[in-house]
Amino acid sequence: MTMNKSVAIFGVLLVAPLASRVAGKSVELNPSTFEEAVHSKNAFVKFYAPWCGHCKALAPDWDALAVKYAASPSLVIGSVNCDADENKNLCQENGVSGYPTLKFFKDGNTEGESYQGGRNLEQLFRFAEEELDKKCVVGTEEEMNDEKSNCSDKEKEFARKMRSKTSEERKVQIDRLEKMKGGSMKPELKSWIFQRLHILAGLETVGGGNDEL
C-alpha cells in the first residue's frame, strides 16, 4: 500500500513540471475543467499534441491571445493536450483528427464549432474580438439596453418576452430547448438555442420580473 502511494507521488512530481513547461499561457483544459470553462464563458480552444510541428509554430500566437484575454469576463483561451491519456475521449468527442484543431464554444454550447479562419495572430485576434469576447449580460431591461451588456437586439427582445412570463413558464421553455440542443442543425440555429438558454438561466438568477409583481 505504501509503495503504491509513493509510486503515485513520485509520478506526480515527475510529470507536473514537464506538464507546466509545455502548457504555455492558455488555460490547460481536461475533462473535469472543460465543461465548466465552456459554461462560464465563451471559449476558443486549441486541441494539440506537444510533438506536432504546426502546434509548436502556433504556440507563441496562442500564448499572445491567452495573455490578451486573461482578464476577459466573457472569453477564455484554452488548450487541450490530446496526447494526455485523460484527454483522449475529450479530443475524440470533439472530432479532433489533426493537430492543431481550433474550435470555439459560444454561450455554453459544449459541442462547439470548428474555426476555419486564418491562423496568424491578427486573424485569430480579430475573430476573438468580434465573435467571442462578448457575452450578453442578463439583467433588468434597463441594464440589458446598456451597450456594455453586449446583448443583441434579438437577445434583448427574447429577454423582454420571457421576463413577462412566470418562472414556471420559463421552466417549460428551458426544458424544450434542453431537448432540442443535442439535435443536428445549422450552427446559427444551435447558437440561438444556447443564447436563449443563457438568457433564461440568467433571468432566474436576476429574478425574471413577473413573479415579484
Ligand X SMILES: *[C@@H]1O[C@H](CO)[C@@H](O)[C@H](O)[C@H]1NC(C)=O
By CB under 6 A, the count of residues binding ligand X is 8
Distance CA 65, CA 63 (A): 5
Q: Does 198 bind ligand X (CB under 6 A)?
A: no
Taking contact as CB under 6 A, which single stretch among the options 27-35, 133-141, 153-161, 202-210 is the one that binds ligand X? 133-141
- Does residue 121 sit in helix, strand or coil? helix
x-marked contacts with ligand X along 148-167 as a string, rule CB under 6 A: --x-----------------
Taking contact as CB under 6 A, which single stretch among the options 12-20, 50-58, 67-75, 95-103 is the one that binds ligand X? 67-75
Taking contact as CB under 6 A, which single stretch among the options 11-19, 69-77, 166-174, 187-195 is the one that binds ligand X? 69-77
What value does the CA radius of gyration of the chain take, rounded to a whole number of Å?
A: 20
Dihedral (Cα; 130, 52, 98, 45), 10-degree rounding:
-30
Tracing cell 470555439 back to the chain, one arrives at: 104
- Does residue 78 sit in helix, strand or coil? strand
**Chosen residue from 135, 165, 170, 190 binding ligand X by CB under 6 A:** 135
**Chosen residue from 11, 31, 60, 73 binding ligand X by CB under 6 A:** 73
Where are any strands of DSSP class E within the chain?
A: 27-28, 42-48, 75-81, 101-105, 113-114
- Does residue 28 sit in helix, strand or coil? strand
Taking contact as CB under 6 A, which single stretch among the options 71-79, 86-94, 102-110, 160-168 is the one that binds ligand X? 71-79
Residues lying near ligand X in the complex (CB under 6 A) are found at 72-74, 133-135, 137, 150
